Amino acid sequence: MENNVPVFDFTPESIRALGGSVVNDFEEGVKGLIGIPKENRSFENTMLAFERAASDFGEAVSIPIAMAYVSDNAEVRKAAQELELRISQYAVDIFTRGDIFKALNEYAAKGEKLGEVESRLLAKTLLDFKKNGLGLEPRKQKKVKKILKELIGLELLFSKNLREVNDSLAVSLDELKGLPEDFIGRLKKTQEGKYLVTMNYPDYLPFMDNAESDAARKRLEAMFNNRCAAENMKLMENAIALRRKISKLIGYPNFADYTLDDRMAKNSANVIDFLERTWAKLKKKGRKELRHRAKLKNRRTGGADKTLNAWEWRYYNNQLKKEKYALDHEKIKEYFPLETVIKGMFEIFGVVLGIKFVPADLPVWHKDVRAYSVLNADGSAAAYFYFDLFPRDGKYKHAACFGLRHGREAADGTYILPAAAIVANFPGASGDAPSLMRFDDLVTLFHEFGHVTHNILTTAKYAKFSGTSVSRDFVEVPSKMLENWAYYSSVLKLVSGHYKRPDEKLPDGLIKKLIDTKNMDSGLVYLRQIFFSLLDLKYHMAKGKVDTTKLYEKLMKKISLIPMSAGTHPQAGFGHLMGGYEAGYYSYLWSELIAADLFSVFEEKGVMNAETGARYRDLILAPGRSYDEAGQVEKFLGRPVAEAAFLKSIGAA
């Protein structure tokens, strides 16, 4: 099979037609393997035949489904959403098929000697069927299948509701005091002359960080944390109840243990132990940070309040950075024009990983999207890569890496090139200023680019193990890994240049302050991560009905030290718990621990060291899930993973 360039010219009609054709193609692909006599079964005619049929099926729908999140055509988005629901539910049909499961089991029972990767493919595929109820008596099997399909509908509706939020807060010019001119300049205005601040991150976060008006921040935070509240709270609570039923039917104590059975962490006890251990190390630091911010608030307001409210903590955190370190992120962003950052990022990771990004005239899904061919050091093609960086109506609201196509070996022995995109919502140009990135935006870009490297540098033979198709608690390792580069002077010089004076790099004094302030709020930041992780586990370990608001309120105050605002329902916007991280939010911290240990090798050898980069590419990125993740980490480190580098990196050693 030749490496066809991905295409995106889907119409609502072509997407709707695809729903039926891919199902027919899959059925054709598996028809042959089902009727083979068990004595004639082989890896090729049974396991590999199923894997290829499943891979072809996944590839055929991957890009059309992505259009639900990125197309500017509402009808295309609608058709793609319908396709995603249909295909996700049909995937449940596939992994609850007794005839396919029987065929795979018959082959497994032969006990043929297989290579490490092939043996792993068979074991992981069988486990997928078992976790979908295969092996249970028929009545329970049917129940599991019905619940899994129902769950998919709830999860996709939750996500759709958040994508379609278009609420905005009307504020006066006076209430915009503290915000920079370029921010104010790009806001839409009402007929009455008020300015509209949307719920999109390029509006929400700068406003919460900088707006001097306490009342305006309070109103915006209340609006943001009540997005889709009435509908999404119900969807989440119904999903949690259904997940609990699935775990009981299949024989797990709770949904967390059902989920973790195939993760690095293995079970909920290990995760809770990890989270509580980290929590204990950060409590003191977090409380101290809170006192400093409360003291600043009281000095400015004349109060004596020890509490920082949800609409205050980001603002006073930012004010403390300005006061203690003379660090003004609105000024710093002038040194990070988007184009300069991208050019520098390509240069840095091109050297480290031995690749080159070449702008290419390839098909795209929107005029703002830019496309690249990714080349290996010898000039051979490695992958395709895309940027879709600015907000627009109906588009995905966060920043994410979209794996558009898995790299894998085709039936004729050629390699199908992977494709991936960064879909983000960075601020656009405003007035005479181009798109400027806040330092947090730069870290986010590096994070998502880490996922991209995992996707595009895969050499996995099978799509099931390709790129980011690893254990959920390993998937964030490459993304957390690349964030570390953002805190190195040599790197910040390469990605900076004042937008008016491009040769003027970010000054050494500001670089030192950025690095010095990395952990000035790490106590509060990581307590918040621990709060989200424990909340997720508690939701999914509960024995009965969960009051998601009450539990959120209790744990937020206890762990993050910031109380939940009365009348808000932040869980209604917690998309991760309805989009792949349910009982898995801890993965960010778990992965960060591993990434910090891996990065310690780069610190020792040099952050631009190509030899270390080649080992990292070969041992961590290229295999995907072809081998045990912990084993690959141990090969790279020369020892098992340890916590010391992580605790040092967050200032909690």
Q: Which residues are catalytic?
A: 448
Q: Which long-range contacts (CB under 8 A, 24 or more apart) does 77-86 make?
A: 77/394, 78/12, 79/12, 79/13, 79/15, 79/16, 80/10, 80/15, 81/156, 81/160, 82/15, 82/16, 82/19, 83/15, 83/16, 83/18, 83/19, 84/156, 85/152, 85/153, 85/156, 86/19
**């895969």: which residue's tokens?**
458
What does the alpha-carbon distance between residue 126 and residue 121 come to, in Å, rounded to a whole number?
A: 9
- Contact between residue 440 and residue 205 where contact means Cβ atoms under 8 Å apart: yes
Give residue 571's Cα distance to chain centre.
17
Q: How far apart are the first and last CA of the chain?
A: 52
Burial (CB < 10 A; 0-12, 13-18, 19+), residue 509, is: exposed
Q: For 377, which DSSP code?
A: T
Determine the Cα–Cα distance for residues 205 and 649; give it in Å rounded to an integer.
25
Q: Which of 357, 452, 365, 457 lies closest to 401 in space, CA to CA?
A: 452
Nearest Cα residue to 558 out of 530, 586, 581, 587: 530
Q: Which of left, alpha, beta for 642 (phi over 0: left; psi -120 to 50: alpha)?
A: beta
As given in the structure block, the two tokens for residue 635 are: 């090969």
Residue listed under structure tokens 């990004």: 357
Phi, psi of 423 (to 5 degrees): -110, 120
Helices 587-605 & 522-541 angle (0-180, nearest 10) = 140
> Contact at 8 Å (CB) between 627 and 264?
no
The per-residue DSSP string of 261-329 comes to: TTSTT-SHHHHHHHHHHHHHHHHHHHHHHHHHHHHHHHHHHS-------TTTHHHHHHHHHHHHH---H
Measured CA to CA in angstroms, residue 298 lies from 217, 295, 301, 304, 521 at distances of 17, 5, 5, 6, 19
Amino acid at the residue 340: T
Position 153, amino acid = G
Of 496, 473, 221, 126, which Cα lies nearest the Cα of 342? 496
SS3 495: coil
Question: What are the angstrom distances between the C-alpha of 471 and each of 262, 420, 621, 628, 644?
Answer: 7, 19, 13, 9, 23
User: Contact, 397 vs 160, CB < 8 A?
Assistant: no
Residue with tokens 């600043």: 296
What is the Cα–Cα distance from 21 to 14, expressed in whole angstroms? Answer: 10
